[in-house]
Amino acid sequence: MEIQKWREILSPYELAVDELRIKFNYIIKQNKAAGRYSPIEQVICRVKTVSSILDKAKRKGIDLENVEEKITDIAGVRLICQFVEDIDKVVNIIRDRPDMEVMEENDYVHHSKPSGYQSYHMVVRYEVTTIHGPKLVPVEIQIRTMAMNFWATIEHSLKYKYSGNVPEHIGERLLAAAQAVINLDKEMSMIREDIVMAQDLFFNKARIVSEIKNNIQNLYKFENRDAMLNIQNEFFDLYQNGTLEELEEFNRQLDLVAARQGVQEL
């Protein structure tokens, strides 16, 4: 098949991946903007290379004319979660979306593969608009925790190194590592509330500090040098020794000063 033909075939898949990357990242952004915990931590996307498609077609005995029909993971999206509980939430988010039609689901989280592999796989049908009109594209979505993703990445590298025939002693170690991943995810779930609260505290403090710095920068044009030095010193002291509530109150006071001076927040 000519290179130009492959470009035409892969173009809609690339478009689907680009659009889904934006949509899933926007879910993260919306949750954080609302001060809510996001079940999706990271979005990773890819389109299979021509060589990968040819390898899979050969391995599965698929004619090149049928690759679009028979290979459903040409476009791939990986959604990384912090906790096992988040996986079911993300699955339900995808099921409920009107722009994605679920074609297939495989639960390797509750029913891991013999190798120890864990992940939740969904194949969805997603419509893109090309210069030739609308086209429905299958996209494989993998949902897993960070620990599961680390294990799967290592396993994939080893399979590549050994051409799919991983030595028995390494396979046994991988299986033991998979059990360690399960145990790690269970431990993280047990302290999930504390972890989420700590992360919320960190991000809220970072947000308030950023707002304070913007206010201080804007006020430099209107307040005298001594006043600004006092404001900066008070801010540095609160940043090092103050509570989140004290930083929030300090920021409110700066907002009032900025409003009196007519400072417009950019």
Q: Tell me the catalytic residues.
A: 140
Please state, as a whole number, how many other Cβ atoms lie within 10 Å of the Cβ of residue 235.
20
CB environment 89-123: b (16+ within 10 A), e (fewer): ebbebbeeeeebeeeeeebbbeebeeebbbbbbbb
CB environment 40-78: b (16+ within 10 A), e (fewer): bbebebebbeeeebbebbeeeebeeeebbeebbbbbbbb
CA distance 25 to 258: 33
Q: Is 141 exposed, middle or buried (0-12, 13-18, 19+ CB in 10 A)?
A: buried
The residues near 143 (Cβ < 8 Å, ≥ 6 apart) are 78, 79, 81, 87, 90, 91, 119, 120, 121, 122
φ and ψ at residue 41, rounded to 5 degrees: -95, -35
Report yes or no: 126 and 141 within 8 Å, Cβ to Cβ.
no
CA distance 39 to 197: 14
Query: How many degrees, rounded to 5, is the angle at CA 120 between CA 116 and CA 121?
Result: 110
Query: How many degrees, rounded to 5, is the angle at CA 30 between CA 27 and CA 35?
Result: 125
